[in-house]
Amino acid sequence: MRKWIRLLCGLTQDGVRQTKSAKDKYVVPASLSESAVEDIEDLVTTDDILSDDYIHIRKDVVPKARKKKAKQHNKDHCRVEELKTDSIIPDDQEEADLWLLNSCTVKSPAEDHFRNEVNKGRKAGKFVVTAGCVPQGQPKTDYIQGLSVIGVQQIDRVVEVVEETLKGHTVRFLGQKKGDGKKKGGASLALPKIRKNPLIEIIAINTGCLNQCTYCKTKHARGELGSYPPEEIVDRAKQSFKEGCVEIWLTSEDLGAYGRDIGVTLPELLWKLVDVIPEGAMMRLGMTNPPYILEHLDEMAKILNHPRVYSFLHVPVQSGSDSVLMDMKREYCQADFRRVVDFLKDGVPEITIATDVICGFPTETEEDFVDTLQLVRDYKFPSLFINQFFPRPGTPAAKMQKVPTQEVKKRTRLITELFHSYRPYDDKVGRRQNVLVTEVSHDKQYFVAHNKCYDQVLVPMDDNLMGRMIEVDITSAGKHYLMSQLTLGGSVTRPSNVPPPLIKGRVSGQQFTTTEHHQVSAPDDYPAHPLWVQLTVVAVITALLIKIIISVFMPA
C-alpha cells in the first residue's frame, strides 16, 4: 500500500531505547490514544494587516501527480509531471495514512490551530507526526504525548521518523546539532528539496537568536544563535542557479545577528553571495532587528544599492515607545530604529522598509500607543504588519497585567486606519522600470514581478515572460501593488547562464540532463525526453528500416 503523507500549517513518553542525544528517543510500540520539517516574526494570521507583496502561500508543497492535458498551459508556469514514486501527497486529507503537522509558537492562534489538527488526526485514527517549535519548546504538552516528534534541527531525519511511525513506533528527535562544541545552524543546506516555486530558492542562513524578548517564545524552541558557514550558503546559492532559480531569499530569525557565533559578519556573507548571482537574477534579504544592523549600516547601504540585490529590508520596530521597548527587552530605543531607517533611506534611493508593530503590549499606555502612531505617520511604511499582543505561556509578558481586550482592538483599528490612509505607490505611475517575473497572482489573472525596491508589479500573463527580466511602463497603482504593461520593443531577457527551472515537483540536487528542465515557454504536452530516450528511438527506427530494406531487396 502506498504511504500517504500530508503536510499542514505551511511548511517544514518514556523512552525504551536512547539514541546519541538524551532528547532523541525511540518508543516501541505506542498507541495513538496514549497520553504519555521564510522569518519567525513574519507569521501571518487573519488578525494581521499586511501588504499583498508578501510571500504568496500556495496550498500544496508537493502536488498530487496528474496527467497533462493537450495544448493546455499551466498557469503556475511549471509543468507537473507524473512522478515515479511510492509516496505522494493526496488532495484530500482523509486519504492520508499519516499526517505530518508542522507548528509555530509565535502566536496563540497558530498554536491553537496546530492543537486542533493534532486532535483531529488522532480522532480520525491517523498516524500523526508533529514538528516545529511547539513540540520542541514544549515536549511535555499533553496533546502531543504518545506522538512522534521531529525537532527544529532534525528535519533531515523526517523519512526515518515517518517510516518508524508507520510501523507503530513512536520516535522523538529533539536534540540540537553541534560541531566543535558549538550549536550548528541545523540540518544541512545541501538536503534535497522540492521548491514551491522552481524559480525561487529560500536559504536559511542561521537559526536561533541572541535576544530575550519578553513576549516571544521562539527562544524556547530555537535556542541560541547557530550560523551556517558562508561556504555552505554560497554553495547552496550556486546550486539553485544551476537548477534554474532566478531569485534567492535569505531568511532567519534575525538576519543581522548572522555570524556572531562563528566570527563572520553579515556583510562578508552578502558580498560572497553577490559574486555568484548571475546577471539578471536577484537576491532578497529578510528580517533583521535594529541592534545588529547598526554597526553595518555603511556596508548594508552599498549592498542594497547593488543591481542584483533588492532595495528591501524588513526591520521590526514593534513599538514607537522607549518604555515599551525596554519592557519588551528589545535592546534598542526608538532613536536607534529611526537611525537605521533614515540612514538607509538617505543612502539607498527609494528603499522599501517593512516593519511590524504590536498593539496592546501589557505595559503600553495610551501615550505609548500615540508614539507608535506618530512613527508610522512619519515614515508611511508601504509594508506594515500589525499584530495584537498574545500572551505566550512561559514568557515574562504572560505574567503581566493585560490591556483590556476592547482597548487592544481599538488601537489595532486606529493604526489600521492610519495605514490605509496613505498610498505609497501613486508617485510611481508613469515610470518605466525593469522587473523580474517570478510568480502568479492570487486570482490567477496576472503574473507577479518585482522592481528594484521589491514593489509588487502585476504584468500580463504570457508564458514567455515567466522567469525573465522585462521592461514595463507603470500604468496605475493600488494600495499594495503597481499595474503595468510591456513597453513596445522593450527587452525580455533571461538571467545570463541560468538554465530553465526544474519541472515542478522535481527534487533539487539530483543529476539530470538539461532536457529534463522545463522549457518556460513550452506547453504542458511538450515532450521533454532525456537524450538516451531519443537515441533509443532513433536506433529502433533505424533497425526497422534496415529490416524492411533487406526483406524487399534480398528476399529469402
| DSSP symbols for 167-210 | TT-EEEE-PPPEETTEE--SS-TTS----SSTTEEEEE-EES-S
* Polymer length of the chain: 556
Do residues 396 and 327 lie in contact, with contact meaning Cβ atoms separated by under 8 Å? no
The highest-confidence range among 64-68, 144-148, 450-454, 525-529, by mean pLDDT, is: 450-454
pLDDT band, very low/low/confident/very high, at 547 (cuts 50, 70, 90): low
As a dihedral over the C-alpha atoms of residue 300, residue 302, residue 303, residue 307, rounded to 10 degrees, the angle is: 150
Residue 323 has pLDDT above 80, yes or no: yes
Q: So what's the pLDDT on residue 542? A: 56
Retrieve residue 358's grid coordinates. 504590536
Q: So what's the pLDDT on residue 181? A: 62
Look at the alpha carbons of 257, 260, 262, 265 in this order and tell me if their dihedral is positive or negative.
positive
pTM over the 0.75 mark: no
| Residue with more model confidence, 44 or 555 | 555
d(CA 501, CA 166): 34
Retrieve residue 90's grid coordinates. 493526496
Parallel/antiparallel/unpaired status of strands 432-440 and 383-388: unpaired
d(CA 225, CA 260): 8
Retrieve residue 151's grid coordinates. 525537532
Q: So what's the pLDDT on residue 241? A: 97
d(CA 25, CA 31): 16
| Residue with more model confidence, 23 or 308 | 308
Q: How far is CA 408 from CA 404, 434, 495, in A?
A: 6, 42, 48
Do residues 478 and 443 lie in contact, with contact meaning Cβ atoms separated by under 8 Å? no
Q: So what's the pLDDT on residue 551? A: 57
For the chain, the straight-line distance linking the first and the last C-alpha, in angstroms and rounded, comes to 53
d(CA 153, CA 177): 7
Q: So what's the pLDDT on residue 20? A: 42
d(CA 83, CA 79): 12
Q: So what's the pLDDT on residue 541? A: 54
The DSSP H or E segment spanning 358 is: strand 352-359
Q: So what's the pLDDT on residue 379? A: 98
Do residues 230 and 263 lie in contact, with contact meaning Cβ atoms separated by under 8 Å? no
Which residue bears the cell 524556547? 220
Residue 294 has pLDDT above 70, yes or no: yes
Q: How far is CA 56 from CA 10, 134, 154, 197, 200, in A?
A: 11, 24, 26, 10, 12
Q: Please write the tens of the pLDDT for every residue from 176-220.
A: 666 666 666 667 888 888 899 999 999 999 988 888 899 987 766
Q: Please write the tens of the pLDDT for every residue from 464-496.
A: 999 999 999 999 999 999 999 999 888 899 998
Do residues 238 and 192 lie in contact, with contact meaning Cβ atoms separated by under 8 Å? no
The highest-confidence range among 30-34, 75-79, 138-142, 372-376, by mean pLDDT, is: 372-376
For the segment 36-60, the average pLDDT, to the nearest whole number, is: 37
Q: So what's the pLDDT on residue 322? A: 98
- Scanning 170-222, the segments in alpha helix (DSSP H) are 218-222
Q: Mean pLDDT across the chain, nearest whole number?
A: 79
Q: So what's the pLDDT on residue 212? A: 85
For the segment 102-115, the average pLDDT, to the nearest whole number, is: 74
- Closest by CA to 421, choosing from 49, 29, 38, 10, is 49
Do residues 249 and 282 lie in contact, with contact meaning Cβ atoms separated by under 8 Å? no
- Closest by CA to 253, choosing from 336, 359, 353, 133, is 133
Which residue bears the cell 534579504? 285
Other CB atoms within 10 A of residue 338 CB: 16
Q: How far is CA 215 from CA 102, 226, 327, 386, in A?
A: 22, 22, 9, 15
Q: So what's the pLDDT on residue 179? A: 65
Residue 73 has pLDDT above 90, yes or no: no
Residue 357 has pLDDT above 90, yes or no: yes
For the segment 313-339, the average pLDDT, to the nearest whole number, is: 97
Q: Please write the tens of the pLDDT for every residue from 410-457.
A: 999 999 999 999 999 999 999 999 999 999 999 999 999 999 999 999
Of 12-21, 177-186, 330-339, 432-441, give the lowest mean pLDDT range.
Answer: 12-21
Q: So what's the pLDDT on residue 141? A: 80
Q: Please write the tens of the pLDDT for every residue from 92-103.
A: 788 888 988 887
